[in-house]
Amino acid sequence: MARNQNRYLNLRTVNGISIAVKANAEFSFDDLCKNLDVLKKDKPKVKWDFSSYPKVVQEVARAKGISIN
């Protein structure tokens, strides 16, 4: 018997790491990834503070290899 998918979460994969994203999030997952890529490209060795952002943003940043405090 197949498992039921959770209709409230979308499972996304970033660099081989699976991240659960709310289906009704206020931002698009693709836009989030694009914006984090821009941050990483402009200043690759800076440690960023994402403590005031949602947990999903922090998890995606870690998965993309961005240094976080």
Residue scoring higher pLDDT (49 or 69): 49
Residue 69 lies in a domain: no
Q: Is the pLDDT of residue 1 over 60?
A: no
d(CA 18, CA 21): 10
Instruction: Report how far apart, in Å, the C-alpha atoms of 14 and of each of 1, 3, 47 are.
Output: 28, 23, 20
Number of domains observed in the structure of the chain:
1
Residue 4 lies in a domain: no
User: Domain residues for 59?
Assistant: 9-63
The closest alpha carbon to 65, from 28, 24, 2, 14, belongs to 14
Q: pLDDT tens digit string along 40-59?
A: 887 878 888 988 988 888 88
